[in-house]
Structure 1
Amino acid sequence: MISNQVLQSTIDSLKGITRVDIAIADIDGKILSSTFSDEQYTESMVSSFADSQADSQAVGGYQFFKIFDEHQLEYVLIAKGDTDDVYMVGKLASFQIQTLLVAYKEKFDKDNFIKNLLLDNLLLVDIYNRAKKLHIDIGVKRVVYIIETDKGSNDSGALDALKTLFATKTKDFVTAVDEKNVIVVKEVKPNESAEELYHVGETILDMLETEAMIHARVSFGTVVNEIKDVSKSYKEAKMALEVGKIFYEDRNIIAYNRLGIGRLIYQLPLPLCKMFIKEIFTTISPDEFDEETLTTINKFFENNLNVSETSRQLYIHRNTLVYRLDKLQRSTGLDLRVFDDAITFKIALMVVKYMKYMESIDY
Structure 2
Amino acid sequence: MELNKQTAQKIVKRAMNIIKNSVNVMDKNGIIIASGDTSRLNQKHIGAVLAIRDNRVIEIDEVLAKKWNFEAKPGINVPINYLGNTLGVVGISGEPDKVRSYAELVKMTAELIIEQQILLEQERWAYRYKEEFILHLLNEKQSLHELKQQAAFFDIDLDLPYVVAIIKLCQSGFGQLQELITYLNQPHFHYHSAILSLNTVAVLITPEQADTQHLNKLLPPGVDIHHYKIAVGANLTNEFKLHFSYKTALTTLNYGQKCFPKRSFYFFEQHQLPVLLNHLSDSWQAEKLLKPLQNLYQQDTNRQLRKTLQQYFLSNCDLSLTSQKLFIHTNTLRYRLNKIEQLTSLSFNKIDDLFIFYLSTFLQPNFRENNNKIV
Report the AA paired with residue 353 of structure 1. P
Report the AA paired with residue 196 of structure 1. Q
Match of 2:45 in 1: 45
Q: Does the C-alpha gap of structure 1 residues 182 and 294 become closer, same or farther in structure 2, counting only changes over 3 Å?
A: closer
| Unaligned segments of structure 1, at least 5 residues | 357-363
Instruction: Determine helix, strand or coil for the equivalent of 1:286.
Output: helix
Q: Does the C-alpha gap of structure 1 residues 184 and 65 become closer, same or farther in structure 2, counting only changes over 3 Å?
A: farther
Distance 1:118 1:50 in 2: 49
Match of 2:373 in 1: none
Distance 1:248 1:313 in 2: 15
Report the AA paired with residue 44 of structure 1. K
Q: Does the C-alpha gap of structure 1 residues 327 and 137 become closer, same or farther in structure 2, counting only changes over 3 Å?
A: closer
Distance 2:25 2:45 in 1: 13
Match of 1:196 in 2: 213
Distance 1:130 1:50 in 2: 46
Shift of 1:336: 2.8
Distance 1:10 1:166 in 2: 33
CA contact (8 A) 2:290 2:356 kept: no
Distance 2:91 2:243 in 1: 46
Instruction: Determine helix, strand or coil for the equivalent of 2:365.
Output: helix
Matches within 5 A, 1:150-161: 150-152=170-172, 155-161=173-179
Q: Of 90, 98, 103, which residue of structure 2 is paired with 1:77? A: 90
CA contact (8 A) 1:22 1:77 kept: yes
Report the AA paired with residue 8 of structure 1. K
Shift of 1:150: 4.5
Distance 1:312 1:355 in 2: 19
Compute the TM-score of the two structures, normalised by the length of structure 2.
0.67
Matches within 5 A, 1:233-272: 233-268=245-280, 270-272=283-285
Match of 1:352 in 2: 364
Distance 2:49 2:224 in 1: 51
Instruction: Determine helix, strand or coil for the equivalent of 2:136.
Output: coil
**Residues 8-58 of structure 1: CA deviation (Å, up to 9, x unaligned):** 389738965x99976545554221xx6x58998973118963995444442
Shift of 1:144: 4.4
Shift of 1:117: 1.6
CA contact (8 A) 1:66 1:75 kept: yes
Q: Of 29, 33, 38, which residue of structure 1 is paired with 2:32? A: 29
Distance 2:22 2:150 in 1: 40
Match of 1:172 in 2: 191
Shift of 1:120: 0.9
Instruction: Determine helix, strand or coil for the equivalent of 1:64.
Output: strand
Matches within 5 A, 1:322-361: 322-336=334-348, 341-353=353-365
Shift of 1:219: 2.7
Q: Does the C-alpha gap of structure 1 residues 5 and 241 become closer, same or farther in structure 2, counting only changes over 3 Å?
A: farther
Q: Does the C-alpha gap of structure 1 residues 133 and 239 become closer, same or farther in structure 2, counting only changes over 3 Å?
A: same
Matches within 5 A, 1:95-114: 95-114=111-130
Instruction: Determine helix, strand or coil for the equivalent of 2:290.
Output: helix
Report the AA paired with residue 198 of structure 1. L
Report the AA paired with residue 49 of structure 1. V
Moved more, 288-297 or 38-47: 38-47
- Determine whether 1:117 maps to 2:130: no
CA contact (8 A) 2:256 2:266 kept: yes
Shift of 1:222: 5.1
Distance 2:318 2:367 in 1: 29
Instruction: Determine helix, strand or coil for the equivalent of 1:30.
Output: strand
Which structure: larger Rg?
2
CA contact (8 A) 1:221 1:234 kept: yes
CA contact (8 A) 2:306 2:367 kept: no
| Unaligned segments of structure 2, at least 5 residues | 61-74, 369-375
Shift of 1:293: 1.8
Distance 2:261 2:55 in 1: 62
Q: Does the C-alpha gap of structure 1 residues 309 and 259 become closer, same or farther in structure 2, counting only changes over 3 Å?
A: closer
Give aligned-pair identity as a percent.
16
**Residues 135-169 of structure 1: CA deviation (Å, up to 9, x unaligned):** x35469555443333454xx321123214533644
Shift of 1:100: 1.4
CA contact (8 A) 2:307 2:367 kept: no
Q: Does the C-alpha gap of structure 1 residues 259 and 319 become closer, same or farther in structure 2, counting only changes over 3 Å?
A: closer
Match of 2:295 in 1: 284
Moved more, 256-265 or 100-109: 256-265
Shift of 1:65: 2.1
Moved more, 260-269 or 164-173: 164-173
Report the AA paired with residue 179 of structure 2. A
CA contact (8 A) 1:68 1:75 kept: no
Match of 1:148 in 2: 168
**Residues 295-352 of structure 1: CA deviation (Å, up to 9, x unaligned):** 4323322332223443455454444433332232222232335565333201123212
Distance 1:222 1:271 in 2: 26
CA-based RMSD of the aligned residues comes to 4.8
Distance 2:4 2:178 in 1: 17
Q: Of 12, 15, 27, which residue of structure 1 is paired with 2:14? A: 12
Moved more, 257-266 or 4-13: 4-13
Report the AA paired with residue 348 of structure 2. L
Compute the TM-score of the two structures, normalised by the length of structure 1.
0.69
Distance 1:284 1:353 in 2: 16
CA contact (8 A) 1:325 1:335 kept: no
CA contact (8 A) 1:262 1:350 kept: yes
Aligned residues: 339
CA contact (8 A) 1:145 1:186 kept: yes
